[in-house]
Chain A
């Protein structure tokens, strides 16, 4: 499966992850191709979210966790001592399961990331806010109410706001951790459209519970179970001719 002629953006090699003594990831090796959407599916507790959170080292903030194996971003180990985790997280954006806008205005939610990364020029901030909201297909809905509190938006709008917020700091990779599990079907369709668009400029990794969603939006699919990678291949292949019996059972709904 690594015989594709595409540049690999993120490569994990024999990745193990521990919460204290509990091994949550076992020997996971995946190649996420540049400007493609990779979906991670699997039953609850299989380590999907843990996996995605290791890529921007978000799990570092949880006490008592440990990583073994390697994660390479553009061929460089993200745990190398000279890697600045703050810069890593700017390059690898993340959209969380529950929309988590900050209790600020819509405008300030987007501008926040720019300001903490040192953008002071008001004009530039303004331009980037508009560009990001357009990029997240939210601009037309909010352009007249940028000063309203972000909590006044609907759940789906909030999630697109969080996507816009992630886009604003110009990442190369965007990680989606079950981005649609807390929003309604229409909002979900909008977010899926958006992900489809995003892959022209970004490498996308999406964790999802929803197999139809994985089939719709992704180019590659990884199926995980109990911390192990069971199968990883082109999405079409995984859903039509899975190589592993477990994968087949899961996608045909026999368990999960």
Chain B
């Protein structure tokens, strides 16, 4: 065979392989979404979204779980966003690149791979017992916050790295202090990336079960948490209960699918927010 013909065949086969991989990934994703969408949409009514569960969770709605997930995500964000961004700014802009900072960076990368149940157990010890916050929405939020920190830091640092060094040097050469150069000539161009990474981390946290399992999520509460020291219901935990622990599993299956659909839409919504946010901020820069 002529080399030119062979090159062409390799090219065609290569494209085919890549395209097949993409189609497979999309197929699984759509199958998954279709299954949940088709079995879950029937359960979605205004009552389902706005009322508390009734009759041992075989009827009624999931509003406390929606509210609880929202509340716990806010607490997560309050911990991990300012702390994570500050840590990233320190690591990328201020810390000298020594063996210690390399070790710290490596540890952060590793922490993002620690199973979420480990964070859950750590949260029990630190927040519930040692700090005496009890099993509460506060303990759960802080535990999720710790869990998302490595993502927030890593994403923020990556965003800071994309800002060309010439912006920093240009500002310094004009007599800017280091902080002035960072605040006025680095952060504005990194913030879209920092926020995107952060929101994606929060979206993952909102869907987590293990970290909140022992730290604050409740099986069933007929009322909403009134303070940060109350327990709360959360969508992922509620789903877990309905799918595996309920005494009438067959009966609540439609409700479980409905809950799954709400959770997915919520997480998808947060991810979309991240995309829109990035788009808006990028456009503003231009």
Contacts and interface: CB of A to CB of B under 8 A. Distances in A.
Interface of A: 56, 58, 61, 63, 86-87, 89-90, 93-94, 96, 98, 100, 102-103, 112-113, 115-117, 149, 162, 165-166, 169
27 contacts: A56-B173, A61-B169, A61-B172, A63-B96, A63-B97, A86-B176, A87-B175, A89-B174, A90-B175, A94-B173, A96-B169, A96-B170, A100-B167, A103-B285, A103-B286, A112-B184, A112-B185, A113-B175, A116-B175, A116-B177, A116-B180, A117-B175, A162-B170, A165-B170, A165-B174, A166-B173, A169-B175
Contacts of A86: 175-177
Nearest to A63: B96
Nearest to A101: B170
Interface of B: 96-97, 164, 166-177, 180, 184-185, 189, 285-286
B167 A102 contact: yes
B228 to A, nearest CB: 41
Q: B-side binding surface: helix, strand, loop or mixed? A: helix
A58 B165 CA distance: 12
**Most chain B CB atoms below 10 A, which of A56, A96, A100, A162:** A100
A149 B285 CA distance: 9
Nearest to B174: A113
A102 B189 CA distance: 10
**Most chain A CB atoms below 10 A, which of B166, B168, B173, B184:** B173
A96 B285 contact: no
Nearest to B95: A63
Contacts of A162: 170
A89 B173 contact: yes
Contacts of B174: 89-90, 93, 112-113, 116-117, 165-166, 169
B172 A116 contact: no
A103 B185 CA distance: 9
A103 B173 contact: no
Given A112-B184, A169-B175, A58 B169 contact: yes
Contacts of A102: 167, 170-171, 185
Given A102-B185, A103-B285, A89 B175 contact: yes
